[in-house]
Amino acid sequence: MRIHSAALPLLALVAGILILVRPKLLPFVVALYLIIVGLIGLLPMLR
């Protein structure tokens, strides 16, 4: 659970900054965010 609690706020911050800098990247940033959050959520189940 440590990875989950540490990675999500950092990932959200990076995604927010990217969206502010390049608004056209919004669909890609959201898609990557969802994929990464999903993988982080599934990681403990795969071990």
What is the C-alpha to C-alpha distance for residues 44 and 47, in angstroms, rounded to an integer? 6
pLDDT for the residue numbered 28: 92
Give the pLDDT of residue 2.
Answer: 57
Count the domains in the chain.
Answer: 1
Nearest alpha-carbon partner for 8 in 30, 28, 36, 29: 36
> Residue 29's pLDDT is what?
92
| pLDDT confidence of residue 20 | 94
**Per-residue tens of pLDDT for the chain, all 47 residues:** 555 667 788 888 999 999 999 999 999 999 999 998 888 888 878 77
The predicted pLDDT at position 10 comes to: 87
Alpha carbon separation from 15 to 2, 6, 24, 40, 41 (Å, rounded): 20, 15, 13, 16, 18
- Full residue range of the structural domain in which residue 40 is found: 2-46
Q: Which residues contact 20 (CB under 8 A, 6 or more apart)?
A: none
How far is it, in rounded angstroms, from Cα 44 to Cα 42? 6
Q: What's the confidence (pLDDT) of residue 44?
A: 78
